[in-house]
Amino acid sequence: MSKEDVKPYTLSAEEVVSHLNTDASSGLSDAEVQRRLEQYGHNELITEEKTTLLQKFIAQFKDFMIIVLLVAAAVSAVIGVIEGEGIADAVVILIVVILNAVMGVFQESKAEEAIDALKDMASPEATVRRNNANSKIKSTELVPGDIVLLEAGDIVPADLRLIESSSLQIEEAALTGESVPSEKSTEIIADPETGIGDRKNMAFSSTNVTYGRAKGVVIGTGMNTEVGNIANILSTTESQQTPLQRDQEELGKKLTYLIIIIAVITFFVGLFGPNAGDNTVIDMLLISISLAVAAIPEGLPAITTIILSIGTQKMAERNALVRTLPAVETLGSTQVICSDKTGTLTVNKMTIEKVYYNGELHEASEDIDLDTPLLRSITFANDVNTDNAGNLVGDPTEIAMIKYANDKGFDLEAALEATPRIDEVPFDSSRKLMSTIHQLEDGKYLIAAKGAPDQLIKRVTQYQDGDQVIPFTQEHSDTILAANDGMARNALRVLAGAYKIVDSLPEKVDSESIENDLIFAGLVGMIDPERQEAGEAIKVARNAGIRTVMITGDHAVTAQAIAERLGILNPDEDNSVHVTTGAELDKMSDEELTRTVSNYSVYARVSPEHKVRIIRAWQANDVVVAMTGDGVNDAPSLKQADIGVGMGITGTEVSKGASDMVLADDNFETIVVAVEEGRKVFANIQKAVQFLLSANMGEVITLFVATFMGWTILEPIHILWINLVTDVFPAIALGMENAEKDSMTKAPRTRKDNFLSFGVLPSIFYQGILEGGITLFVYWVGHYVLYPHDNNIAETMAFITLGMIQLFHSYNVKSTFKSMFSSNPFDNKYLNLAFIGSGALLLGVILIPGINTYFDVTLPTASGWAVAIIAAISIIPLVEIIKWILRTTGVAAKYEKPGSENVQ
pLDDT tens sequence across 644-669? 888 877 776 667 777 888 888 888 88
- Are the C-beta atoms of 558 and 491 separated by less than 8 Å? yes
The proportion of the chain whose per-residue pLDDT surpasses 90, expressed as a percent, equals: 40
| Half-sphere CA count of 848, side-chain side, radius 13 A | 10
Q: Which residues are catalytic?
A: 340
812 or 176: which carries more pLDDT confidence?
812
Which residue from 293, 204, 303, 170 is spatially nearest to 244, judged by alpha carbons? 303
Query: 50 in a domain, yes or no?
Result: no
Query: 848 in a domain, yes or no?
Result: yes
Are residue 343 and residue 358 in the same domain, yes or no?
A: no
Once rounded to an integer, what is the mean pLDDT over residues 864-877?
95
Query: 900 in a domain, yes or no?
Result: no
φ/ψ of 878, rounded to 5, equals -65, -45
The helix (run of H) or strand (run of E) holding residue 682 is: helix 668-709
Are residue 497 and residue 588 in the same domain, yes or no?
A: no
pLDDT at res. 879: 96
Once rounded to an integer, what is the mean pLDDT over residues 272-286?
68
Q: What is the mean pLDDT of the chain?
A: 84
pLDDT band at 293 (very low <50, low <70, confident <90, very high): low
Are residue 517 and residue 547 in the same domain, yes or no?
A: no
Strand partners, 312: none
497 or 556: which carries more pLDDT confidence?
497
Are residue 536 and residue 591 in the same domain, yes or no?
A: yes
Three-state secondary-structure class, residue 657: helix
**CA–CA distance, 819 with 737 (Å, rounded to integer):** 15
Are residue 176 and residue 228 in the same domain, yes or no?
A: yes
Q: Tell me which residue range forms the domain holding 208.
A: 8-40+117-236
360 or 249: which carries more pLDDT confidence?
360
- Are the C-beta atoms of 663 and 319 separated by less than 8 Å? yes
Helix, strand, coil in percent for the chain, rounding step 5: 50, 15, 30
Helices 243-272 and 64-83 pack at an angle, to 10 degrees, of 40
Once rounded to an integer, what is the mean pLDDT over residues 793-811?
94
pLDDT band at 111 (very low <50, low <70, confident <90, very high): very low
Ranges of H-type helices in 324-473 = 326-332, 373-380, 396-407, 412-418, 453-457
Beta-carbon neighbour count of residue 885 at 10 Å?
11
Residue 299, pLDDT above cutoff 70: no
**What Cα–Cα distance (Å) separates residue 385 from each residue in 57, 370, 378, 498?**
52, 21, 14, 22
**CA–CA distance, 672 with 675 (Å, rounded to integer):** 5
Last residue of a domain, one of 604, 639, 673: 673
Are residue 367 and residue 499 in the same domain, yes or no?
A: yes
Are residue 249 and residue 300 in the same domain, yes or no?
A: yes
Query: 901 in a domain, yes or no?
Result: no
Which residue from 605, 190, 194, 186 is spatially nearest to 428, judged by alpha carbons? 186
Once rounded to an integer, what is the mean pLDDT over residues 511-515?
93
Residue 607, pLDDT above cutoff 50: yes
**CA–CA distance, 722 with 772 (Å, rounded to integer):** 14
pLDDT band at 555 (very low <50, low <70, confident <90, very high): confident
Strand partners, 136: 127
Ranges of H-type helices in 781-891 = 791-812, 829-847, 851-854, 862-873, 875-888
Query: 763 in a domain, yes or no?
Result: yes
Q: What is the CATH number of the domain that holds 14?
A: 2.70.150.10
Q: Are strands 360-363 and 518-527 parallel, antiparallel or unpaired?
A: unpaired
Are residue 401 and residue 497 in the same domain, yes or no?
A: yes
| Half-sphere CA count of 614, side-chain side, radius 13 A | 35
Are residue 700 and residue 767 in the same domain, yes or no?
A: yes
Which residues touch 822 (CB under 8 Å, ≥6 apart)?
A: 815
Query: 612 in a domain, yes or no?
Result: yes
- Which range, of 70-79, 157-166, 715-724, averages the lowest pLDDT? 70-79
- Are the C-beta atoms of 681 and 328 separated by less than 8 Å? yes
pLDDT band at 61 (very low <50, low <70, confident <90, very high): low
Query: 290 in a domain, yes or no?
Result: yes
Q: What is the CATH number of the domain that holds 408?
A: 3.40.1110.10
pLDDT at res. 203: 92
Q: What is the CATH number of the domain that holds 302?
A: 1.20.1110.10
φ/ψ of 736, rounded to 5, equals -100, 5
Query: Torsion over CA of 682, 684, 690 and 693, rounded to 10 degrees?
Result: -90
φ/ψ of 152, rounded to 5, equals -55, 135
pLDDT band at 240 (very low <50, low <70, confident <90, very high): low
Last residue of a domain, one of 673, 690, 725: 673
pLDDT band at 245 (very low <50, low <70, confident <90, very high): low
- Are the C-beta atoms of 216 and 37 separated by less than 8 Å? no
Are residue 364 and residue 506 in the same domain, yes or no?
A: yes
Are residue 519 and residue 551 in the same domain, yes or no?
A: no
Which residue from 28, 628, 700 is spatially nearest to 331, judged by alpha carbons? 628
Domain tally for the chain? 4
Are residue 264 and residue 293 in the same domain, yes or no?
A: yes
Residue 284, pLDDT above cutoff 80: no
Query: 493 in a domain, yes or no?
Result: yes
pTM score? 0.69
Sign of torsion over alpha carbons 780, 781, 782, 786: positive
Q: What is the CATH number of the domain that holds 343?
A: 3.40.50.1000
Residue 122, pLDDT above cutoff 50: no
Last residue of a domain, one of 463, 495, 525: 525
- Are the C-beta atoms of 344 and 666 separated by less than 8 Å? yes
Q: Which residue pairs, CB below 8 angstroms and at least 24 apart, start in 437-441? A: 437/505, 437/509, 437/514, 438/380, 440/501
pLDDT band at 242 (very low <50, low <70, confident <90, very high): low
Beta-carbon neighbour count of residue 738 at 10 Å?
12
pLDDT band at 304 (very low <50, low <70, confident <90, very high): confident
